[in-house]
Structure 1
Amino acid sequence: MSKQARLYGRTSPRQSTTTVDVDGIPPVSDTSPGFEILDEDGPCLVIAKPAGIPTQAPPQYDSLEQRIKRFLKQRENHPGQPYLGVPHRLDRPVSGVMLFARNIRATRRLAEQFQGRTITKKYWAIVEGHLPAKNGTWVDWMRKIPGVAQAEILDQGHPDGRKAILHFRVLRQSNHWAWLEIELETGRTHQIRLQASSRGFPILGDHQYGATTPFGPPVQHKRDKWIGLHARSIAFRHPMTNTHKRKTAPLSNSWQELLDNEAS
């Protein structure tokens, strides 16, 4: 039985970075905003990740993984720490749909789907500037810079370069920004952010990659900033029943206000 969207406002908090620095990351607090369960079907848990928190972090720091584990422990009166498989991640400033698993078998099967690229994910991005084409494909060679949470474009054929491919279409073009739908053919570190920025179209709020336009609510710490990138939908095969599932994550108020204001 599938259980549809429920919002958990302040049930289990935590906040940190995905796989990186622990310096400057606040410990777990009981005042962090919550998360939304979009679907729960057997061992599959589909969550709407808020922007500004990491997917994973050490246990003493806030992260989406820790929030979910704490909620499950409370809901199920679990004597120990509940298992939660994390077959993929989203960057800290990115919001959107994420897929988790409640047992090891489901985690392995979902990981195989990600590795085999049979899972389809679509992203929405708001970028600065005016795109000359309504749709297209971007191809680059890029790498994650060693020791830094950043990526860079390399010349084709560079020994450290990995091919990065994405497809986009323009959903709306304003005087100052473009709203894109993006589908990744590859999944490189910061791929959408870097490929857009390298062409002169940085994502709103993404000062790390050259954006000048802010996005999202004001925050106390720079690490908590949002960017205009949202994992809109995910389509996958249920790891146990093999049924096809597709789930969509709603937009935040910041997204909705930006789109509504431009339309009015």
Structure 2
Amino acid sequence: MKVPIIYEDNHLLIIEKPINVPVQEDSSGDPDLLSILKDDIKVRYQKPGNVYLGLVHRLDRPVGGVMVFAKTSKAASRLSDMLRRNVIERKYLAVVHGKPDKDKGQLVHYLYKDKQKNKVSVVSRENANGKKAVLNYEVLDSKNGLSLLSVYLQTGRPHQIRVQLSTIGHPIYGDQKYGEHLTKPGKQIALWSYSLELEHPVRKEPMHTICLPPKYEPWDMWDIK
């Protein structure tokens, strides 16, 4: 599998994650992104032994788009610290069913992940197992019963965008897990990691990477740039 490389230097690797590929090895045994990229680096640079590649953040298996990996432990440590301090700006595009009441808004929920079922649910604030999840969204356009949203994550909980949007009555198009009552089998989820802004962990320069979603249904309803 050839993974598109958007940017690479001695410290960082920024790529376009293919859809339906797990980020790291899981129980499915399918090829995972981290192993694919390590093998690619090993071949391209003829590196002996194990290749270091730090996983900084994750995307759900069916979701595609921009991701950053660290090629050194120093870069990994600094990027992880940036994530903790919420100074890496991650924006997503999502196509949802219907249109939210407000064109702009912030969603705050408390989420619990059932690891056995690999499914996340909203719980009360008082629930000791719940973790606070915060996102901001903006409706960019609506047509044919669907809306295109820009989503900015303030926290990085598992399945966060999918669960929160479904909870307010606007599940993501093609989401088999949190929008199954509206989704036909085989549909691809319309959630895409669109934009990544960060400070280079070594050179301290601002970096902004944009990765456009594919030109098929339902993304082709909009001219996304």
Please give the TM-score of this superposition, normalised by the length of structure 1. 0.78
Give the secondary-structure state (helix, strand or coil) at the position aligned to 1:200: coil
Where do residues 1-264 of structure 1 align in structure 2 (5 Å cutoff)? 13=1, 34-57=2-25, 61-211=30-180, 212-214=182-184, 226-254=188-216, 257-261=217-221
Q: What secondary structure does 1:230 align onto?
A: strand
Tell whether the 8 Å contact from 1:204 to 1:214 is kept in structure 2 after alignment: no
AA in 1 matched with 2:200: H
1:250, 1:83 → 2: CA distance?
28
Q: State the secondary structure of the residue aligned to 1:253.
A: coil
How many equivalent residue pairs?
Answer: 221
Change (3 A) 1:141 1:261: closer
4+ aligned runs moved over 6 Å, structure 1: none
Deviation, structure 1 residue 129:
1.3
Maintained 8 Å contact 2:95/2:218: no
Cα distance in 1 between the residues matched to 2:188 and 2:39: 24
Secondary structure in 2 matching 1:68: helix
Quote the RMSD (CA, aligned, Å): 2.0
AA at the equivalent of 2:191: L
Residues 122-175 of structure 1 show CA distances to partners (whole Å, capped at 9, x for unaligned) of 000001112222111111111112422110001222222222111100011113
2:90 maps to a residue whose letter is K
**Counterpart contact for 1:128–1:178, Cα < 8 Å:** yes
The Cα of 1:261 is off from its aligned counterpart by: 4.1
TM-score by length of 2: 0.91
Identity over aligned pairs, percent: 35
**Over residues 36-68 of structure 1, what are the superposed CA-to-partner deviations in whole Å (9 max), with x where a residue is unaligned?**
11111331110110110011116x740111111
Shift of 1:262: 6.4
Structure 1 unaligned residues grouped into runs of 5+: 1-12, 14-33, 219-224
- Paired residue type of 1:251: P
Give the whole-Å Cα distance in 2 for the aligned partners of 1:108 and 1:261: 40
- Partners in 2 of 1:86 and 1:162 — Cα distance? 22
* DSSP 3-state at the match of 1:207: coil
